[in-house]
Chain A
């Protein structure tokens, strides 16, 4: 690594920050249902996910190699400023959705940011619109639906096969299976998402002329990207974990197992084909499917709808922020500085807002507490949080709906 300019240095740091928010945001994918079904304790779950993400980062560099030449045309004059602006857009959107507890796609935030920044500063030529549609938009719609249907059918099947058995007796087996599927999701997440950051850093190094075009990511890039995503995962985006594990539907061990298996399968199958899939959307889709699949299961469609809205907004919103940042960063050194200062200020603001009602590993599974504390004046953020956290009445319905399986066990034995 020779002649890394200050600008490239800033881009690398920003990319690592994005990587961190990515891990932070996406802990929920692998671990939300694992935590809510009690298969693993919250701390152990995030630690396991972090380690697997780190391991995953070292397994392959295929995705990293395709990202630079894929969606953004690197020959069309993409400069480090543009990548910087794109990353800022992605980070801010990630933090905002985290504050609202919405599981949106970190990958789409990244793509949206890069596309928006490129459009503003290079123009339409810089973006491969064909590839965006085929590799990003279509999988974005298809993958959650496929995962949802798969989880739905699998949930139906497993409840049908296991009817007449005591749920307490089978729960252990389901939990073990779920841990295995969740581990697979974490591993796949590490290979996919850590590599996206590696790809971006490599792209920045190439555009800055530090390394030759088409070269593999240097080792220090792989190590730092892996560490950043693992650290983010370990700290855990508890707000999003709560939404996915408890907010969308009440997950029982068989559902958790079916959902996680469906997610792992879709992720592996589509990344094998080469779709830039969103782990988040796949996992949310399969959780919804599992919720529909259980008799008496309740899917909170209002929460699900808000989540889908966030998915639709992710690409344009991150793109818009990034576009604005690109406009400013294009003004020269002071522009880049202004973007950096504004970004840090915005991050600090969002973090401060999150402290008003912290969600961490101690209260990640109790949904009642958050809804029962309307102590402070209801601002926009608090209102959003309260609507994301479901009312306590739902919890009662859920525990009563867990009984049919047990009841059928009793009837089966008397006949």
Chain B
């Protein structure tokens, strides 16, 4: 009986890297599109409340938003590759 350590290691390593990478990139995308608390709450008395939901809507813009879209595009590409793996 032979245990194929190489295949096992490969699956483990790739899974770990891809998962962490994917989640990391996606989180960056979320960060880019969500409001920074510092900006949203600047100069308001409600700064101490935990919820920023009532703060004026603004969101990130400019390079942050563009970067976020790049992150999401990268994630979409990975998902497409995944579907490709299923089909092939």
Contacts and interface: CB of A to CB of B under 8 A. Distances in A.
Chain A complexes with chain B = yes
B19 A188 contact: no
A166 B53 contact: yes
A49 B18 CA distance: 23
A261 B14 contact: no
- Chain A at the B interface: mostly helix, strand, loop or mixed? helix
Interface residues of A, number: 58
Interface string B12-31: 10111011101110111111
Contacts of B79: 180, 184
A60 interface: yes
A397 interface: no
A285 B8 CA distance: 17
Interface in A179-195: 180, 184, 187-188, 191
Given A166-B51, A412-B38, A184 B19 contact: no
Nearest to A184: B82
Contacts of B27: 157-158, 161-162, 254
A169 B16 CA distance: 27
A210 to B, nearest CB: 29
A146 B88 CA distance: 24
Contact of A59 (B7, B12, B47, B87): B87
- Chain B at the A interface: mostly helix, strand, loop or mixed? helix
A56 B86 CA distance: 8
B4 A165 contact: no
Interface string A384-415: 00000000000000000001001101101110
Contacts of A154: 19-20, 22-24
A264 interface: yes
Contacts of B82: 184, 264-265, 268
B31 A161 contact: yes
A187 B35 CA distance: 34
B24 to A, nearest CB: 5
A153 interface: yes
Given A143-B11, A166-B52, A184-B82, 18 more contacts: A60-B88, A134-B1, A134-B2, A150-B19, A154-B23, A157-B24, A158-B23, A161-B31, A166-B35, A169-B52, A169-B53, A173-B34, A177-B30, A187-B86, A188-B86, A257-B23, A265-B82, A266-B19
